[in-house]
């Protein structure tokens, strides 16, 4: 029944990190590979692997950019740089939801709304809500986030060689109990999922993921 998180698919995204001052600090390609198995930490979710293509220059760039998870700016938390991770998603008759791309410099996305669509509310003006409790392991991000989503309209969007009709533009806001508001505007397609994700965070930083290519095994 998996269409978006089908293990025969591989998704490539272009990722951009923009500082609060407007400087584009990193550009990289990130790939998502569903594996068709339950995620080991939550068997109700289907697993997918995220592969990063960061470079040594990226880590040098962020030596001067304080990790937002730091509780004390004078003693900033070090970034942890990884090449890959496996996490979980939900795709069923009620909703499509995924853990965000949130490692390395992208840890901000933990405090914004997670990519999520409630299918019975997927119409112009349709709304849905949820909440997330962030625990101690996330440092300064610890707290509660109240998320609100609203479907705006359908558009035709082009991503690489794919021209996709009926992509839904969805705007969402996450209200953190201590840090204020962070925003996620995203496009969702019923066959290709979250094809574009545009984040704006409480301190002005921005992260964008844009679908670049979908590869199908055997095609």
Which residue carries 């969805």 as its tokens?
170
- For the residues 54-58, what does the mean pLDDT come to? 93
Q: From CA 125, how far away is CA 154, in angstroms rounded? A: 11
Residues 6+ apart with CB under 8 A from 23: none
Top-confidence residue, 60 or 219: 60
Give residue 3's pLDDT.
97
- 47-67 average pLDDT score: 95
pLDDT interval class at 132 (50, 70, 90):
very high
* 17-40 pLDDT tens trace: 999 999 999 999 999 999 999 999
Among candidate residues 32, 19, 82, 85, the one with its CA nearest the CA of residue 210: 32
Q: Rounded distance, CA 141 to CA 69, Å?
A: 6
Instruction: Report the candidate in 128, 111, 116, 105 with the shortest Cα–Cα distance to residue 201.
Output: 111
Q: What is the pLDDT of residues 172-201, one digit of tens each?
A: 999 999 999 999 999 999 999 999 999 999
Mean pLDDT to the nearest integer, 157-175:
98
Residue 188 CA to residue 106 CA, distance in Å, equals 20
Q: CA–CA separation, 98 vs 81, rounded Å?
A: 21
CB 216 within 8 A of CB 191: no
The per-residue pLDDT for 219 is 65
Task: Characterise 126 by phi-psi region: left (phi > 0), alpha (psi -120 to 50), beta (else).
Answer: beta
Three-state SS for 136? Answer: helix
Q: What is the mean pLDDT of the chain?
A: 97
Percentage of the chain exceeding pLDDT 90 = 97
Average pLDDT over residues 195-218: 96
Q: Compute the average pLDDT of residues 86-95.
A: 97
Average pLDDT in the 152-176 region? 98
Residue 218, pLDDT above cutoff 80: no
Instruction: Give CA–CA dist 186/196, Å, rounded.
Output: 5
Residue ranges of the alpha helices (H) in the chain? 56-61
């Amino acid at each position: 029944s998996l269409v978006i998180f089908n293990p025969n698919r591989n998704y490539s995204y272009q990722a951009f990190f923009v500082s609060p001052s407007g400087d584009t600090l990193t550009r990289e390609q990130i790939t998502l590979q569903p594996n068709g198995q339950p995620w080991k930490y939550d068997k109700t979710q289907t697993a997918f692997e995220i592969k990063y293509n960061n470079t040594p220059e990226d880590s040098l760039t962020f030596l001067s950019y304080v990790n937002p998870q730091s509780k004390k700016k004078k003693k900033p938390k070090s970034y942890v740089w990884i090449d890959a991770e496996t996490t979980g998603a939900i795709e069923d008759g009620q909703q499509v939801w995924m853990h965000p791309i949130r490692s390395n410099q992208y840890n901000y996305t933990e405090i914004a709304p997670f990519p999520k669509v409630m299918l019975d509310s997927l119409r112009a003006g349709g709304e849905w809500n949820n909440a997330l409790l962030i625990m101690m392991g996330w440092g300064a991000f610890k707290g509660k986030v109240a998320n609100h989503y609203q479907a705006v309209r359908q558009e035709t969007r082009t991503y690489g060689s794919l021209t996709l009709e009926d992509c839904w533009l969805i705007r969402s806001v996450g209200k953190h109990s201590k840090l204020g508001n962070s925003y996620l505007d995203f496009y969702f397609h019923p066959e290709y999922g979250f094809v574009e994700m545009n984040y704006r965070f409480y301190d002005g930083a921005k992260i964008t993921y844009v679908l670049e290519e979908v590869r199908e095994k055997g095609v």
